[in-house]
Amino acid sequence: MTKHVEVQKVSHRYGEREALKDLNIAFDEDEITALIGPNGSGKSTLLRIIGGLETPTEGRILVRGKPEHPNTLRRITTLVFQKTATFNTSVYENLAYGLKVRGFGRSEIKEKVHNALNMVGLEGFEKRSARRLSVGEQQRISLARALVIEPEILLLDEPSANLDPRSVSVVETVISRANHKLGTTVIMASHNMSQAKQLASKVAALQDGVLVAFGSTSEVFGKPSDFLEDFGRLQNIFSGHAHLTDGGLALVDIGDDVKLEAVDAKEGTVNVFIRPEDIIVSKMPIVSSARNILKGKIIEASDWNEIVQLKVDAGKEFITTVTKNSFEEMKLNLGSEIYLTFKAQSVHLVA
């Protein structure tokens, strides 16, 4: 494989905070590489530096072995952000803008816009107002706007966050198609390890601005590591204060009026961990022996083939999963109100 982008001894600071620390990594041409890691690990900062939007405090970016200035990086890369930003005009004008400033003629612009919209499954949307589209459609427009100028390198910052399952599926298909059919080098930041496994051939794991693992998806995910264990536990982990009840259970206050019951007889400051698969999702409260029932609203849904991962705001944000059949049968979507039910023995406490 030919090295397309090399990050050499890159460090970056925001005031006293060091976002990246002496980072060295090479991204191969025509491959999809996933950047994984918790919030604050440096993923977005790295994408912005590769995209020429920020200049590293130390180090440099090479493209095909040649050091490049941020101005050049901005010409050959396109960064699609997690939060979609569209111009307040038609879909056609949103896609045509980048082509116009590059000097393309009217007929060529029309053809390229048409092809890009076909790629993201929004053919016929040319005259619609971009800002009146759904969140999922707007994200697909952002992808189309990025791909219409045929960048060498496509940078994606959590491309499927906050999208409904259908939009997630379309976005993932577009990313794969851009890589395989157009030969675009893709570097994508993602919290979704299943998505990383599915789309990427290489995975780079960041933690506190340091590269802690890099290799093929099978190499990184195929062997146990402290990083993957810690990263997996970032789902449904909270800190709180526990005290014992008359019934011998621990009642844990994790803030925002959310209290959980646990069988662990611990008191004082504790960390709480609940496995996503231990949480039952329902449209109505369930009558059972489970001690914890929380009402919440779906704020994110990610399609993992036959499984849909849900992020639910129930005072605190919880992650859980349901089968795709259950998701459809319950007619769930973003904004749906649901109940989360789990037993006291599913609430694990670490003092």
Query: How far is Cα 178 from Cα 113, in angstroms, rounded to an integer?
Result: 15
Position 271 scores a pLDDT of 79
Asked if CATH classification 3.20.20.70 holds for the domain at 3-227, the reply, yes or no, is no
User: Could you write out the DSSP letters of every residue in 259-292?
Assistant: EEEESS---EEEEEE--GGG-EEESS---SS-SE
| Cα separation, 282 vs 278, whole angstroms | 13
Q: Is the CB of residue 268 less than 8 Å from the CB of residue 342?
A: no
Residue 17: exposure state from Cβ atoms within 10 A (0-12, 13-18, ≥19): exposed
Q: Do domains 3-227 and 237-350 have the same CATH topology?
A: no
Cβ contact 153:184 at 8 Å: yes
C-alpha pair distances (Å), 190 with each of 64, 113, 177, 313: 25, 27, 18, 20
Single out the residue of 261, 257, 265 nearest to residue 292, CA to CA.
261
Matching CATH number, 237-350, of 1.10.357.10, 2.60.40.1180, 3.30.2020.30, 2.40.50.100? 2.40.50.100
Domain boundaries defined on the chain: 3-227, 237-350
Q: How many residues are recorded in the chain?
A: 351
Can you give the pLDDT at residue 168? 78
Which pLDDT belongs to residue 159? 86
pLDDT score of 210: 95
Dihedral angle sign, alpha carbons of residues 316, 317, 320, 322: positive
Residue with tokens 């005072």: 315
- Distance set, CA 71 to CA 25, 51, 55, 68, 74 (Å): 21, 9, 10, 8, 5
- Phi, psi values for residue 128, rounded to 5°: -75, 155
For residues 134 and 137, what is the distance between their CA atoms, to the nearest angstrom? 5
Alpha-carbon distance values, 111 to 106, 107, 108, 134, 207 (Å): 9, 6, 5, 25, 43
How far is the C-alpha of 75 from the C-alpha of 194, rounded, in Å? 31
One pLDDT digit (tens) per residue for the chain, 351 residues:
689 999 999 999 999 889 999 999 999 999 999 998 877 889 999 999 999 999 999 999 999 999 999 999 999 999 998 777 778 889 999 999 989 989 999 999 999 999 999 988 899 999 999 889 888 888 889 999 999 999 999 999 988 876 766 777 888 899 998 898 889 999 999 877 667 878 999 999 998 899 999 999 888 876 656 666 566 555 788 889 999 988 888 999 999 999 999 988 788 988 788 878 889 999 999 888 889 999 999 998 876 657 788 999 999 999 998 988 899 999 999 999 999 999 998 888 765
Listed in order, strand segments (DSSP E) in the chain are 3-14, 17-28, 32-36, 58-63, 66-67, 77-80, 153-157, 185-189, 202-207, 210-216, 237-244, 250-253, 259-262, 268-273, 280-282, 292-304, 307-313, 317-323, 337-342, 348-350
Which amino acid is residue 223, in one-letter code? Answer: K
Which contiguous run of DSSP H or E holds residue 227?
helix 226-232
With a threshold of 0.85, does the pTM exceed it? no
Quick one: pLDDT at residue 230? 62
Distance CA 204, CA 43 (A): 10
**Distance of alpha carbon 222 from alpha carbon 224, whole angstroms:** 7
195: how many CB neighbours lie within 10 A of its CB? 24
